[in-house]
Structure 1
Amino acid sequence: MNLLLHLPPELEARLTQQARSTGQNPEEIALRVLEEQLVDETLATASLSADDWVSDVRSWAESHRTLSQEADDSRESIYAGRGE
């Protein structure tokens, strides 16, 4: 597959600088970055150790806001006002 990308000048400059400093061509760097970003999630999860997986789950949970009160998820509260 051929893909034509129009890079903003500042991103092109960063890519060119990275290519010069690593001795790679810009296409190789762009391909590697895409491969890293588009990794198959099932493979990424399968390769994690148990401790890393637990750490990732805890980080994800901590990224959500906590409620200052207990949530009322009872059937009565869900269907309140529906005439039942």
Structure 2
Amino acid sequence: MTLILSLPDNLEDQLRARAAAAGQDVEAFVQQVVADSLAQVELKESVVSKLSVDFARRVEAWIGLHPVLDHAVDDSRESIYAGRDE
């Protein structure tokens, strides 16, 4: 793929300087930067996905520790503090 990219002079100067410091021409340097950037995005998405799955598993395990009741529970303030001179 061929892209035509217009950059401000200061960015072009920085890009050329970094490419030279890396011992690459500008085209190879830009290709490497884009490839690295895309790889980082894929890695972050992979990590987030794994963390989401792990979190969901932990939540499901926690929910499994609590029984499902087949009757209503009185969780009103009056019932919670009954007999405590409230």
TM category (shorter chain) comes to 0.3 to 0.5
TM-score (normalizing by structure 2): 0.45
Of structures 1 and 2, the larger Rg is shown by 2
Structure number with higher relative contact order (C-alpha < 8 Å, ≥ 6 residues apart): 1
TM-score (normalizing by structure 1): 0.45
Larger % of helix: which? 2
